[in-house]
Protein backbone atom coordinates (compact mmCIF):
# COMPACT_ATOMS: atom_id res chain seq x y z
CA UNK A 1 0.00 0.00 0.00
CA UNK A 2 2.88 2.38 0.71
CA UNK A 3 4.33 2.00 -2.80
CA UNK A 4 0.95 2.86 -4.32
CA UNK A 5 0.70 5.98 -2.12
CA UNK A 6 4.17 7.11 -3.22
CA UNK A 7 3.27 6.65 -6.88
CA UNK A 8 0.12 8.76 -6.57
CA UNK A 9 1.87 11.57 -4.71
CA UNK A 10 4.66 11.76 -7.28
CA UNK A 11 4.98 15.25 -8.88
CA UNK A 12 4.98 13.71 -12.36
CA UNK A 13 1.31 12.72 -11.93
CA UNK A 14 0.24 16.31 -11.24
CA UNK A 15 2.11 17.95 -14.12
CA UNK A 16 0.43 18.80 -17.41
CA UNK A 17 1.97 16.45 -19.98
CA UNK A 18 3.32 17.73 -23.33
CA UNK A 19 0.34 16.48 -25.36
CA UNK A 20 -2.22 18.19 -23.11
CA UNK A 21 -0.12 21.37 -22.89
CA UNK A 22 0.11 21.65 -26.68
CA UNK A 23 -3.63 21.04 -27.11
CA UNK A 24 -4.51 23.63 -24.45
CA UNK A 25 -2.17 26.21 -26.02
CA UNK A 26 -3.60 25.59 -29.50
CA UNK A 27 -7.19 26.04 -28.30
CA UNK A 28 -6.40 29.36 -26.62
CA UNK A 29 -4.37 30.56 -29.63
CA UNK A 30 -7.21 29.69 -32.06
CA UNK A 31 -9.63 31.78 -30.00
CA UNK A 32 -7.12 34.63 -29.60
CA UNK A 33 -6.49 34.96 -33.37
CA UNK A 34 -9.84 33.53 -34.53
CA UNK A 35 -8.13 31.10 -36.89
CA UNK A 36 -7.17 27.45 -37.27
CA UNK A 37 -4.04 25.47 -36.42
CA UNK A 38 -1.96 24.81 -39.55
CA UNK A 39 1.00 23.06 -37.89
CA UNK A 40 1.31 20.99 -34.71
CA UNK A 41 2.34 23.01 -31.62
CA UNK A 42 5.83 22.55 -30.18
CA UNK A 43 7.19 22.57 -26.64
CA UNK A 44 10.13 24.97 -26.85
CA UNK A 45 11.27 24.98 -23.25
CA UNK A 46 10.37 23.61 -19.81
CA UNK A 47 11.02 26.11 -17.01
CA UNK A 48 12.39 24.55 -13.82
CA UNK A 49 11.41 24.17 -11.00
CA UNK A 50 7.91 25.45 -11.86
CA UNK A 51 7.48 22.96 -14.76
CA UNK A 52 5.83 25.66 -16.86
CA UNK A 53 6.14 24.86 -20.55
CA UNK A 54 6.78 27.40 -23.26
CA UNK A 55 4.68 26.41 -26.28
CA UNK A 56 4.65 27.71 -29.85
CA UNK A 57 1.28 27.43 -31.61
CA UNK A 58 0.96 28.02 -35.36
CA UNK A 59 -2.31 29.60 -36.46
CA UNK A 60 -3.65 30.59 -39.90
CA UNK A 61 -6.44 33.07 -40.50
CA UNK A 62 -7.42 34.03 -44.05
CA UNK A 63 -4.02 34.24 -45.77
CA UNK A 64 -2.06 35.34 -42.67
CA UNK A 65 0.07 33.05 -40.54
CA UNK A 66 0.87 33.66 -36.86
CA UNK A 67 3.04 32.08 -34.19
CA UNK A 68 1.60 32.40 -30.69
CA UNK A 69 3.97 31.82 -27.77
CA UNK A 70 2.40 30.83 -24.48
CA UNK A 71 3.24 29.49 -21.04
CA UNK A 72 1.30 26.47 -19.78
CA UNK A 73 1.42 25.69 -16.05
CA UNK A 74 1.14 22.31 -14.32
CA UNK A 75 -2.70 22.56 -14.31
CA UNK A 76 -2.70 23.12 -18.11
CA UNK A 77 -3.73 26.79 -17.76
CA UNK A 78 -2.47 28.90 -20.67
CA UNK A 79 -1.03 32.42 -20.61
CA UNK A 80 -0.19 34.00 -23.98
CA UNK A 81 3.11 35.86 -23.79
CA UNK A 82 3.79 36.91 -27.39
CA UNK A 83 2.35 36.90 -30.91
CA UNK A 84 4.32 37.15 -34.12
CA UNK A 85 2.96 38.12 -37.51
CA UNK A 86 3.88 35.68 -40.21
CA UNK A 87 3.93 35.61 -44.00
CA UNK A 88 1.07 36.80 -46.17
Q: Confirm whether 8 is domain-assigned.
A: no
Residue 18 has φ and ψ, to the nearest 5°, of -60, -45
> Would residue 3 count as lying in a domain?
no
Higher pLDDT, residue 29 or 2: 29
- What is the C-alpha separation between 52 and 77, in angstroms, rounded? 10
Supply the pTM of this predicted model: 0.78
Residue 10 in any domain: the answer is no
Query: How many structural domains is the chain composed of?
Result: 1
18-40, pLDDT tens digit by residue? 999 999 999 999 999 999 999 99
Residue 9 located in a structural domain: no
Per-residue pLDDT tens digits for 5-14? 334 444 445 5
The band of 85, judged by pLDDT with boundaries at 50, 70 and 90, is confident
Domain carrying residue 60: 18-85
pLDDT tens digits for range 34-64: 999 999 999 999 998 888 999 999 999 988 9
* Beta bridge partners of residue 41, listed in sequence order: none
Amino acid sequence: MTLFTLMISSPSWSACNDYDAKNAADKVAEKFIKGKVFHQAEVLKVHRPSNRKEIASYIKTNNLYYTIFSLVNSQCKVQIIKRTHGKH
